[in-house]
Chains A and B, each alone.
Chain A
Amino acid sequence: MFVILVYDVNQKRVAKVLKRCRQYLTWVQNSVLEGEISDVNLKKLKMELQKIINKEEDSVIFYTMRTTNYSSRELIGLQKNEEGNII
């Protein structure tokens, strides 16, 4: 499954949320991560984030799609993070 995760959380918790998300997904922009993830790992990530965030103040949105086949990705301007699994 492919996931795009965007978050808007209080500054106090930004670092915590980012660190946690980086274990599962690839950082693409400030507050945006994306990547391939399994059902179980997605559940795990959601649970872990729920423990970190304050439900009154923060919001995290998951856009999930089964495959990326029917979507396209276009970038204008600066690429903030290198892509691909060949470093």
Chain B
Amino acid sequence: MKKTIYIFSDGELHRKDNTLCFEKEKEKRYIPIEDTGEIMAFGEININKRLLEFLSQKEILLHYFNHYGYYMGTFYPREHLNSGFMILKQAEHYMDQTLRLKIAIEYIRGGGKNIRQVLKYYQGRGRYVGDKLEAIEKLLLDIDQQQDIPSLMAVEGNIRSWYYKGFDDIICDTNFVFEERSRRPPKNFLNTLISFGNSIMYSICLSEIYKTHLDPRIGYLHATNFRRFSLNLDVSEIFKPILIDRTIFSLLARKMITAKDFDRDANGVLLKEKGKKCFIHALEEKLKTTINHRDLGRPVSYRRLIRLELYKLEKHLMGEKTYTPFIARW
């Protein structure tokens, strides 16, 4: 599987000898281009058009994050899997309210059930999350009855607020209390971690969408607008609890990220570079782990699972097989 390159250092990334070369003062580091799937740039890197051309040719996405680690944008090369048919199908399912709702419901169901699974795991380990689990269980039954997207979003919001209430019981660390979800900028340590993880999750999903015929601009749960990609936000909904939140829990339980890894700024709380690297390291490990896929009958990595999810959506749009979200069983 092609690798993701994370660049934290400042320097120049350029094309050299038909491969990538990252140059920081006096040090050169060659990156095998054929083994690179995407690049995430956190540091201040200089690039030129020659490099962008090269990345386009090799179909590599370049995601860039600003000084605070917020997702800023993506260099999205020319579509190499063009399919007018798929775009029309995607649009058709977006324009028709009932068709759109059908897909949106599946995303919420997938996300909700995975949330339940995460809580169940911690219940099994003796954490007191029973009441939250019960409330979520009830809300899950409501999903099917929703008649429009806003009310569906409301149910999702309720599930999430119950879920987040369980965070304190799971983490049991006074440094990492949840309080409330705050974003842009996050107000406490835990929110900072969640935001950082989510923005990486969104860009990973975008990279996977690029490898399919789907157009990331047409999402179903999240409205299509003039500003940003939305299909990746939809797909992330399913994987956020099992990939990001679980990574956060295990990092905190093992004290791999502590209060020392954060900086308090006038604008909120920031994760320091060491913390970011630690987080990414753990997430990469997670994405690489394989699980046995019941339908395919062979081991599949979490990363591949995201792509399979998109293939299922393609099949649904083409009317071959109805979409059912991935639900973790453990």
What residues make up the interface of A, taking CB atoms closer than 8 Å to B?
19, 22-27, 35-37, 41, 81-82, 85-87
Q: Chain B 79-112, CB within 8 Å of chain A: the 1/0 string?
A: 0000000000000000000000000000000000
Looking at the complex, which one of B3, B4, B277 makes contact with A36 (CB distance below 8 Å)?
A: B3
B19 touches A85 (CB 8 A): no
A14, B118: Cα distance in complex, Å: 53
Contact of A86 among B1, B8, B18, B34 (CB under 8 A): B8
Note all chain A residues with C-beta closer than 8 A to B32. 22-26, 35
Nearest CB in chain A: distance from B277 CB, A: 6
Alpha-carbon gap, A24 to B30, bound state (A): 10
Q: Do B35 and A37 touch across chains, with their CB atoms under 8 A apart? A: yes
Chain A residues with CB below 8 A from B18, complex form = 19, 23
Bound complex: CA A87 to CA B17 (Å): 20
**A22 and B30 form a contact (CB under 8 A):** yes
Asked whether any CB of chain A lies closer than 8 Å to the CB of B318, the reply is no
Q: Give the one of B1, B6, B32 with max A CB within 10 A.
A: B32
* Chain A residue with Cβ nearest B43: A87
In the bound complex, CA of A85 to CA of B1 (Å): 13
Chain A to chain B contacts (Cβ below 8 Å), 30 pairs: A19-B17, A19-B19, A22-B17, A22-B30, A22-B32, A23-B18, A23-B19, A23-B34, A24-B35, A25-B32, A26-B30, A26-B31, A26-B35, A35-B32, A36-B35, A37-B34, A41-B35, A81-B29, A85-B3, A85-B4, A85-B5, A85-B284, A86-B8, A86-B277, A86-B280, A86-B281, A87-B5, A87-B6, A87-B7, A87-B9
Q: Which residues of B contact A35 (CB under 8 A)?
A: 32, 35
Residues in A neighbouring B17, C-beta threshold 8 A: 19, 22-23
Q: Residues on B close to A: CB < 8 A? A: 1, 3-9, 17-19, 22, 29-35, 277, 280-281, 284
Q: Are B30 and A85 in contact, with the CB atoms below 8 A? A: no
Which residues of the partner chain A approach B284 to less than 8 Å between Cβ atoms?
85
The chain B residue with its CB closest to the CB of A44 is B34
Please give the distance in Å from A16's CB to the nearest CB on chain B: 10
Q: Is the CB of B30 within 8 A of A27?
A: yes
Nearest CB to that of B22 among chain A residues?
A87
Chain B proximity of A52: nearest CB distance (Å): 13
Q: How far is B30's CA from A85's CA once the two chains are assembled, in angstroms? A: 11
Task: Kindly state the separation between the CA atoms of A19 and B19 in the bound complex, as whole angstroms.
Answer: 8
Contact present for A82 and B29 (CB under 8 Å): yes
- Other than the known A19-B17, A85-B5, what 4 A-B pairs have Cβ atoms closer than 8 Å? A23-B34, A25-B32, A35-B32, A87-B9
Q: Which among B29, B33, B34, B35 is the interface contact of A87 at CB below 8 angstroms?
A: B29
Residue of B nearest to A81 (CB): B29
Distance between Cα atoms of A27 and B34 in the complex (Å): 14
Inter-chain contacts of B6 with A (CB < 8 A)? 85-87
Contacts of B19 in A (CB 8 A): 19, 22-23
Least Cβ–Cβ distance between B208 and chain A, in angstroms: 17
Q: Are B8 and A87 in contact (CB under 8 A)?
A: yes
In the complex, what's the smallest C-beta–C-beta distance from A6 to chain B, in angstroms? 17
Chain B residues contacting A85 (CB-CB under 8 Å) are 3-6, 284
